[in-house]
Amino acid sequence: MSGQIPVIQPIEKAPSRPRLLARGFTRRCPWCGDRHAYFTGWFKREERCQRCGHGYRRGDHAFELGATTANIILTFGTLLLVMLVLVVATVPDVPVVLVVVAASAVGLLGPALYYPISFTLWQAVDLWMRPPTEAELAGIADASL
């Protein structure tokens, strides 16, 4: 995008909380639902949604901490699920090497797999906790500071 800050397109009704979270889990903009949202590639991120212009930071310079926490929760949840399924499926003779290899693969690939999802999911949680102000919807860049 050019240096100009787009005005966030008004939405007749704010998305519901479940819709915000569902959009966040599917790597969409939680506010408008656009598929491309903040990412132009798996790891390349834009400052604002390409469709509605909603900024992902919302004036908070520590936004990445929440996204990192979401990434850790998603990765550890997947790790726990994989280990649980493998152990339950193979009881009483649990193949420890298989469980360790599968857990290692999830631990190594999980953070990269969940990278963009963690940002859109945290954006959804942030919008849930702090709905956008009128000034923010009008496109004022630092309205939430």
Residue 4 placed within a domain:
no
pLDDT in tens, the chain (145 residues): 445 555 554 555 788 999 999 999 999 989 888 887 788 888 888 888 888 878 777 766 778 899 999 999 999 999 999 999 999 999 999 999 999 999 999 999 999 999 999 999 999 998 898 888 777 776 644 444 4
Number of domains in the chain: 1
Contact at 8 Å (CB) between 138 and 82?
no
Q: Angle 81-87-88 (CA atoms, 0-180°, nearest 5)?
A: 90
Residue 8 placed within a domain:
no
pTM of the entire structure?
Answer: 0.79
**DSSP type of residue 9:** P
User: Which residues span the domain enclosing 47?
Assistant: 17-137
Q: Angle 93-99-100 (CA atoms, 0-180°, nearest 5)?
A: 130
**DSSP type of residue 131:** P
Contact at 8 Å (CB) between 32 and 9?
yes
